[in-house]
A and B are shown apart, each in its own frame.
Chain A
Amino acid sequence: DSGVTQTPKHLITATGQRVTLRCSPRSGDLSVYWYQQSLDQGLQFLIQYYNGEERAKGNILERFSAQQFPDLHSELNLSSLELGDSALYFCASSVSVQNTGELFFGEGSRLTVL
């Protein structure tokens, strides 16, 4: 158990819909990262938050947004969903903003868009 909790574990929805994925980081970790894992693209970095502030942006679509709340949990919002958004979405956390240490990953939220 990494200490990172993600909900829901599985989600099935239709194209055009909007979903919210939730992540609770490991106790004491201030940094939260979101990654998208798909068969063709591998593990793609989406966005990072540190102590409530956005710190780095990766290949995140404009239809996607995220935030980190004062209690440090984070949410990833995916809207106007397309078939190609079907993937496994991972949240990871770390202690510091500059990640030269270990990332702790949740078990992921599997999104299926029909």
Chain B
Amino acid sequence: GEDVEQSLFLSVREGDSSVINCTYTDSSSTYLYWYKQEPGAGLQLLTYIFSNMDMKQDQRLTVLLNKKDKHLSLRIADTQTGDSAIYFCADHLPGYSTLTFGKGTMLLVSP
């Protein structure tokens, strides 16, 4: 089955850029997503990218997709302490009605 992998932990200083990486195994993924989970809360969609795109920018967020390497990244510019959370990468395969999630990357932003 599909496998989505992420590094488990990232620590940055406030004001720096954060880059969270994700790899997936199935090249037929149609949509790829980034979800954010704040402490004590459910997951919330941050952004997504369609598989025919290489890049998507949304304010401080930049998503890069390398289909050849099956690699997805999320860059957060000017990272703030409020960005501290767990970030999940997920993908959607055609014909499936569910998403496959990675295990999540915990981002810790220190002042």
Contacts and interface: CB of A to CB of B under 8 A. Distances in A.
Given A42-B104, A43-B88, A99 B97 contact: yes
A17 to B, nearest CB: 25
Interface residues of B, number: 21
Contacts of A33: 98
Interface residues of A, number: 26
Interface string B73-111: 000000000000000100010001111111110000000
Given A42-B104, A43-B103, A100-B31, A56 B42 contact: no
B30 A100 contact: yes
Interface string A23-48: 00000000101010000011101001
Interface of B: 30-31, 35, 40-45, 48, 88, 92, 96-104
Interface of A: 2, 4, 31, 33, 35, 41-43, 45, 48, 50, 55-56, 58, 90, 92, 97-100, 102-103, 105-108
